[in-house]
Structure 1
Amino acid sequence: MANVAASMSSSEQERILQQELSECSDLAVQVITLGKEAEHSSSECSDLADQTARLYQLLGSIDLLSFSTQPMIYKRPIHRIVSDVSKNLEKGLTLVKKCKKHSSGVLRQVFAITTTADFRKVQALLESSIADMEWLLSIESGVANLALPPIASIDPILAWVWSYIAAIQLGQPNDRVDAANELATLARDSERNKKMIIDEDGIQPLLRLLKEGTLPDAQIAAANALFNIGTDQERVQAIVQGHGIPSIVRVLADSTTSVQVAVANLVGRMAELDDAAREEFARENVIKPLMMLLSVDTTLDDPKAIQPGKACFHSLVQINKELGVKPRSLNNSLNLSTSSPSHSDGSNRGGHHHMKREVDTPEMRLKLKISCASALRKLSKGSVANSRKITETKWLLCLATIITTGRGDLLLNCLNTVMEVTAVAESDADLRHASFKTNNPAAKAILEQLLRILEEETNCDLLVPAIKSVGYLARIFPARETRIIKLLVIQLEHIQVDVAREATIALEKFACPENFNHLEHSKTIVELNGIQRLRGLLKAEDVQLHVFKLLCYLAPVIGNSRGPDQVQVQVQALNFLHTSARRVMSQYPELGEIFGKAIHQLTHGQPRTH
């Protein structure tokens, strides 16, 4: 029913509401008229007419309200309650019609006996309708009314949802904040409540509250409510279909820090749960405000801290030009937060608005950066459009800087963002070639930080995304690149199996035939004792497949090697393959071809005496 209502135009919904009110009022007039004219049970009919007259007045108040505040009136409970009132009036009309003059005195006595209970039932129904209408008028005034109307006595949550939505739509600023917070709490409590809020048209009032920005507290409450509602793809789609993404991006670009934290969290959740939302955010260029917020207070004091050489500083000068900052001197630091560019290319469609910064604590600014980095990670996952925007030179350098100096969740989220972007680049040649050429200063800055992590870090949470990122970029490295291979080979013996597994998968990408330089990379892996280091992974079930494939890819190089040490390596490789073959081949029979080739190459390459 909610979807049907959403598909109607505002004028169509208004026409239907007016028709329902008119028909209900007509019914009330008939009951009043026949009730006053009744010849039998005249006292009961008169009471019924008086009750109906009260209902008629209330219907008139709702009708007048709908005309005077047509764009703002909350129609959802009106439809439901007026429909219920109509049913009760129809029962009353049926009853008073029976009170016309009857020819038979016997029939009159029988009728009087059989309708006494009916009068009581109908009177009770009309009394409930009066209470419902009075409650409806109270919430349409914009003040949350938590009293339970009779119509919602079976389901009190429905009455609360109606009351809160009406308060958000019609109430005073403080009432709107309180109501949005209550909806956020209801949505957090149960899946049923989330669905009810959407079905009762709660998304649009929350989006309007977020967009208007009269109070930061109101925007935060609206963002939190939408965050708690949008916990699966279908509910995120309800926000998208309500044209919420343009408003969300505008608020993110131009609001106080505390609001931006809540909105960045909302962006991240929506991007994580729905591919369509992720691409819609790309069209609205959400990456720019997120990266601008992430770069606040990020200063590149020394270009050499990111990437040696003059090329990197040249790229920093270019950033200054793009952001409209005048160059000062070689020794001056570049603070990416000094600019306040408008977001006219998508993030602020309504005009040129500078980001408004409030004076906040370092803790609040850090919280904002973490939220932005988390949103970027989720936006970039599987999205070429968002990844392409993130790999602009200035933003890659910003990520490299934060990876250099950041700590905790900020570092982890930025590192994971790089991982997601490189994952997209692995499957998109255009992005890979445009953004991750090894002579690109920004790409080199990122790669240097990834390699630094491989050299210095022991934290599994940091090593895994760094190793994955290097593996995703395996095709960009020239044949002479041995430092990366060496660092990955060393990680094969890491105490954490997760790290060793990712190192194996990364080396697999370097050695696979799809990599143009796979033979040179394979030779380096073998020369660095990569085969021997795989020994400890043979018993790890979730690594066996990748050890098996890596050995198959390395077989041509191992088989063509000569010398006493290489004979031992060939024997080890054969033993390792045979050890894992039964388990792997039973699950992945399609690997039979490369297994056969590997065995042939290893066996053919051994001296006859063996």
Structure 2
Amino acid sequence: MAAPAPGEEKTLQDELSLPILFAERVIKLAQEAESSKQDCAELVKQVDRLAQMLRSTVRHASATQTLYERPVRRIVADVAKNLDRAITLVRKCKHSGVLRQVFSITTTADFRKVSSLLESSIGDMKWLLSIFDSDGTGLSLPPIASNDPILAWVWSYTATIQMGQPKDRAEAANSLASLASDNDRNKKMIVEEGGIGPLLKLLKEGSSAEAQIAAATALCNIATDRERVRFVVESHGVPVIVQVLGDSPARVQTSVAKLVALMAEMDPEAKEEFARENATRPLVSTLAMDTVMDDPKPQSGKTSIHSLVQINKELAKSDSVARNYHNISGSLGHSHSDGSSRGGGHYNRKEREWESETPEVKLEVKVSCAEALWKLSKESLGNSRKIAETKGLLCLAKIVEVEREELQLNCLMTVMEIAAVAESNPDLRRAAFKPSSPPAKAVLDQLLRVIQEGSSPTLQIPAIKAIGCLARTFPARESRIIGPLVVQLGGKNVEVAMETAVALGKFVCPENFNCLEHSKAILEFDGVSPLMKLLRNNDRAQMPGLVLLCYLALNVGNSKALEQARALYVLEGAARSVVAQYPGLRELFAKAIHHLTLYQAGAHPHRQPYAP
């Protein structure tokens, strides 16, 4: 038998054959012993029993295609070590005479010690064979794990998940999930002992929804840091997760969507792997279920949702998947990541399953899918682009309009993250947020509605951030946006006012081609007064407020509003402390103060000029 290459793991057959050869060697040497024959005979009985157990293990390993190898390798390696010690001891018994008599006491003690080790190996092998039984989970404690009972439980549960009967696998996965929830040490042990693969297999092939939910829950409890998430990815878990996400009942989708959200939040590389597998497609499809887009109510002065849907339906006519839904899911382009499309039978089944679900289950799965989209889209161009390509923005806009609480917030956060990615990517900004496109109009309508309603700062803040990120997409003639933002600049909620100052700063910064027109619009809506009030009353708002004031000074420094508000005095008073804290703003403050000085110097004859 050829030895494995350096660094290459031995095959299981190699691992098992070595202790069997050792056992045969012990028996042969014991038969040739010239001293301590009785002790050798007792040792032979133990070794013979071990040999039989090892051969039983070989038969089980040969007959089981899905063998869980980790405990087999650990225990068999320990057995081989103990048999090797037995060989060393029995070999000494071939000698007799004076030397043998001198060392007889030590030899007797050695026999007791080796016998104890072999007895422990027998206990380990007995336990190992028990986990092959189809009707048990092997919860007894093997001697090898006597100092760490968790190890035995991890082995037992994982073996049952890998090799057990269907009725036992879900229970074992739930037990493993419970262990993982206790502490990080248990999570690390589950990973090290090979628990991820069997859980992914159960998730993919589970015979019941309960088994798949148990597997997803266990993976959620384990993958709570980047390193363990990477292990799931490297175990080819992402394709399995995406497949289950698209094919499973709503209850399973809920658990799997939570797993996607967790992995995406923990590891950017996992997020991009999900993008490659097009994980956003099944998520958007599920969100679109029951999301009726035909809205007969006209929206005066705006593009109606009804008209958006009619346009969307026209776009969908060429889609290879024809569906008779009156919702956005008809335009999602239901295709696999390889571009192929499924037959109508699959969707009929999914529709029937969906219709049978309770409203509570439907809401729960949508909340989870929206959260997964939120986490996937954050700082991810690939996922953000795919959501936009599947008409996901229309779906998100409609849910923001009609839903409330967590589902509404998760969809709003998704829009915000896509907008944040689009801010630094002109191609995505033009493709997804082109002002004349139906999805962009629908999204803008809902962002403005949320901002203007003012019912919840938790909702207003992401809406304001999203509009700020899209500042460069709005033409100079767009008159609907600046007014609502100026109102929030003077609102009672400091966090909302701060975010509004940041957003308005993006409208009037030099990088925005229409900064002059937007600055004039802020003045027209009397934005200077609330800005100065914000600077006077809220220390936390100083930074974004002062930056906004600097941009206004550069763009419309000759305005009466800035002069009457003593903007020059305010900037000079804050300049030194701000620049000391933020050196990168030195040049901006210097330019703003210089620009205001050109128009307002006469108003402050005793002013000391600011020198950066």
In 2, distance between residues paired with 1:349 and 1:370? 27
Check 1:595–1:340 CA distance in 2 against 1; reply closer, same or farther (3 A cut): closer
| Residue correspondences, number | 590
Q: Choose which of 514, 517, 525 in structure 1 pairs with 2:514.
A: 517
Contact 2:35 2:94 in 1 (8 A): yes
SS at match of 1:38: coil
Q: Which of 48-57 and 343-352 deviates more?
A: 343-352
Q: Choose which of 317, 322, 328 in structure 2 pairs with 1:321.
A: 317
Q: Choose which of 180, 186, 209 in structure 1 pairs with 2:173.
A: 180
- Aligned residue for 2:540? 542
In 2, distance between residues paired with 1:269 and 1:350? 29
- Aligned residue for 2:487? 490
The 5-angstrom pairing of residues 110-259 of structure 1 reads 110-142=102-134, 143-259=136-252
Opposite residue 543 of structure 1, the aligned amino acid is: A
The 5-angstrom pairing of residues 198-597 of structure 1 reads 198-302=191-295, 308=303, 312-318=308-314, 320-321=316-317, 334-336=326-328, 342-346=334-338, 354-355=346-347, 356-357=349-350, 358=353, 359-392=356-389, 394-538=391-535, 540-562=538-560, 567-569=563-565, 571=566, 573-597=567-591
In 2, distance between residues paired with 1:298 and 1:349? 22
Quick check: 1:92 aligned with 2:92? no
Check 1:396–1:259 CA distance in 2 against 1; reply closer, same or farther (3 A cut): same
In 2, distance between residues paired with 1:553 and 1:401? 35
- Aligned residue for 2:609? none
Runs of 5+ consecutive residues of structure 1 not aligned to the other structure: none
How far is 1:259 from its partner? 0.6
Check 1:287–1:160 CA distance in 2 against 1; reply closer, same or farther (3 A cut): same
TM-score (normalised: structure 2): 0.91
In 1, distance between residues paired with 2:421 and 2:408? 20
CA deviations over 1:178-234 (Å, ceiling 9, x no partner) = 111111111111111111111111111111111113211111111111111111111
Check 1:239–1:349 CA distance in 2 against 1; reply closer, same or farther (3 A cut): farther
In 2, distance between residues paired with 1:207 and 1:339? 32
Opposite residue 433 of structure 1, the aligned amino acid is: R
Contact 2:316 2:330 in 1 (8 A): no
How far is 1:482 from its partner? 3.0
In 2, distance between residues paired with 1:196 and 1:289? 33
In 1, distance between residues paired with 2:263 and 2:368? 13
- Aligned residue for 2:608? none
Contact 1:303 1:312 in 2 (8 A): no
In 2, distance between residues paired with 1:67 and 1:403? 57
Opposite residue 312 of structure 1, the aligned amino acid is: L
In 2, distance between residues paired with 1:406 and 1:118? 76
In 2, distance between residues paired with 1:350 and 1:17? 41
In 2, distance between residues paired with 1:163 and 1:600? 75
Check 1:193–1:322 CA distance in 2 against 1; reply closer, same or farther (3 A cut): farther
Opposite residue 556 of structure 1, the aligned amino acid is: L
Contact 1:144 1:163 in 2 (8 A): yes
In 2, distance between residues paired with 1:347 and 1:258? 27
Contact 2:333 2:390 in 1 (8 A): no
In 1, distance between residues paired with 2:188 and 2:24? 38
Quick check: 1:40 aligned with 2:35? yes
How far is 1:342 from its partner? 5.0
TM-score (normalised: structure 1): 0.92
Check 1:456–1:37 CA distance in 2 against 1; reply closer, same or farther (3 A cut): same
In 1, distance between residues paired with 2:408 and 2:582? 37
In 2, distance between residues paired with 1:178 and 1:393? 38
CA deviations over 1:152-185 (Å, ceiling 9, x no partner) = 0011111111111110110001111111111111
Contact 2:258 2:372 in 1 (8 A): yes
How far is 1:44 from its partner? 1.1
Contact 2:229 2:266 in 1 (8 A): yes
In 1, distance between residues paired with 2:139 and 2:318? 54
How far is 1:530 from its partner? 1.9
In 1, distance between residues paired with 2:599 and 2:333? 63
How far is 1:326 from its partner? 6.9
In 2, distance between residues paired with 1:490 and 1:340? 37
How far is 1:313 from its partner? 4.4
Quick check: 1:81 aligned with 2:78? no
In 2, distance between residues paired with 1:185 and 1:228? 8
- Aligned residue for 1:25? 20
TM superposition outliers: structure 1 runs of 4+ over 6 Å = 324-328, 338-341, 347-353
> Identity rate of aligned residues, in percent?
53
Opposite residue 297 of structure 1, the aligned amino acid is: D
How far is 1:429 from its partner? 0.2
SS at match of 2:103: helix
How far is 1:311 from its partner? 5.4
How far is 1:67 from its partner? 1.7
CA deviations over 1:392-428 (Å, ceiling 9, x no partner) = 3732211111111011100000000000000011000
Contact 1:315 1:393 in 2 (8 A): no
Opposite residue 114 of structure 1, the aligned amino acid is: T
In 2, distance between residues paired with 1:386 and 1:22? 50
